[in-house]
Amino acid sequence: MKTFPMFLQTQGRRVIIAGGGEQAAQKCRLILKTEAAITVLAPTLEPELAGLCAEGRIVWRPGPITPDDFQDAMLVFVATGCPATDVCLHGLAKSVGATVNVVDQPHLCDALTPSIVDRSPVVVAIGTEGTAPVLARQIKTRLEEILEPRLGDLAALAGRLRSRANARLAPRARRDLWRWVFTGPPRNTHAQGGEREAAQMIKAAIDTETFDQERGGSVALVGAGSGAADLITLRGVQRLQEADIIFYDRLIAPDVLDLARRDAERVYVGKSPGCHHWPQHKITGVLVTAARQGKRVVRLKCGDPGVFARGVEEADALKAANIPFEIVPGVTAASAASAALGGFLTERGTCDTLVLATGRSEAADQDHAWLDALRPGTRVAVYMGVGASAKIAQGLIDAGLDDHITVDIVSRAQQKDQVIARCSARTLVQTIAENDISNPAILFLTWPRSMVAVQECDVVVRM
């Protein structure tokens, strides 16, 4: 971010608007939504500003503008409509250290005006760092549709009842209460005009502690998708935002963790090849311990928790400890890699059998068990197969399949450093070495029904 979003206290603080025309009026309309004290500096005022001055809602100073006019201002808007005059006034304001916004000149702005969705006290600000104001307005329009008009009144009611809830409920119960208020019957009732009924529901829930809440801890085994933050499911995002503690893998992108509640504890439990600081039994142990402490736990895994992610071992441990858990599916790497290739995992008439395999099995003699499944119309997706590429290539050659199988490699699917390569079994190892391809990667071994000549030349595409 080049700019940092922040809400500033405006009550009783001075905001200066330099200019008396339509641009200044636009800024004045915006600041009048706050409780700031507005002073307009201009030789003359257009009718709207003149009316506001007559009503006593703004202060007008028509004399010459000096640096003293900007002293102690919380914020200065320069909006005369004349670019050269704006530059001069910007210099005067900066000479006394003011924070300045110059209309239509973002390079002179210390602060940028966002598009605002106002459901006071709920306020949503949308900014594009001055690059795309039209896009900001489009987003604002969508949010206006999503957030019901009375939402601010419900938030204000919750604020008035917060001290009552704090006095009667434990922290975990308070979080459950407000989640129930804003996702359950109180919000629906309030949105339909039942403000009094909603208030009575919330008060009764606080006094009797009768609302939808979880008793004890729970665990969600959440698939984060293949790496890109926008490939996690909506349910996965919801679980992250509800979590008290998150145990996450080595390949989880920081953008995915940013979707979690800010105050949720984050614990890295990643395992890299040959370096297991967090062996599986230790991971299952901390999941059980955290849940027994009454926490909402998220075990965040790459891809899908049910595909080569050792989810079964964690689920078995939770079952044995009588801890409730749920499985939240994710976009598995094979799906993401296939989409990156611009194709599909199965294709009617060409490839109607899909096999998911791993490049390294627990039993070494089972490493190439998928070879028996290869026949016309079959595609094998080999997870984490780069390290086993030499054995995979040799297995295909020894089985006499090298002239039948096409090999597609997708490394870091759907991420900024994604690499795509196509080769034959005979050039697989060379392609990986020459293009510095590494895990996480998927190898697609495809034997199409309609046989085409296998390409001997390598095709490599980098994002």
For residue 410, give both structure tokens.
């997708």
- Across the beta sheet with 325-328, the strand order is 265-268, 245-248, 296-301, 218-223, 325-328
Q: What is the pLDDT of residue 320?
A: 95
Report which of 4, 33, 12 is spatially closest to residue 118, judged by C-alpha positions: 33
Contacts of 316 (CB under 8 A, 6+ apart): none
Question: Catalytic site residue 271?
Answer: yes
Q: What is the pLDDT of residue 226?
A: 86
Q: Is the pTM of the predicted complex or chain greater than 0.85?
A: no
Share of the chain above pLDDT 90, in %: 67
Is residue 456 predicted with pLDDT exceeding 50?
no
Contacts of 216 (CB under 8 A, 6+ apart): 291, 294, 324
**Of 86, 153, 249, 304, which residue is the catalytic one?**
249
Q: What is the pLDDT of residue 364?
A: 56
Mean of the per-residue pLDDT values for the chain?
A: 89
Is residue 274 predicted with pLDDT exceeding 80?
no
Query: In which band, very low, low, confident or very high, does the pLDDT at 210 lie, cut at 50, 70 and 90?
Result: confident
Asked if 194 and 185 count as a contact pair (C-beta separation under 8 A), the reply is no
Q: Once rounded to an integer, what is the mean pLDDT over residues 143-160?
A: 93
Question: Catalytic site residue 417?
Answer: no
The one-character DSSP state at 95 is T
The yes/no answer on whether domain 218-331 falls in CATH 3.40.1010.10 is yes
CATH T-level fold of 335-462: 3.30.950
CA atoms within 13 A on the CB side of 406: 22
Write out pLDDT tens, residues 218-242.
999 999 998 788 899 999 998 998 8
Rounded to the nearest 10 degrees, the angle between the axes of helix 280-292 and helix 311-320 is 40
**Of 94, 140, 203, 271, which residue is the catalytic one?**
271
Is residue 454 predicted with pLDDT exceeding 50?
no
Pairing status of strand 75-78 against strand 100-102: parallel
The CATH number fitting domain 14-113, selected from 3.40.50.2300, 3.40.50.620, 3.40.50.460, 3.40.50.720: 3.40.50.720
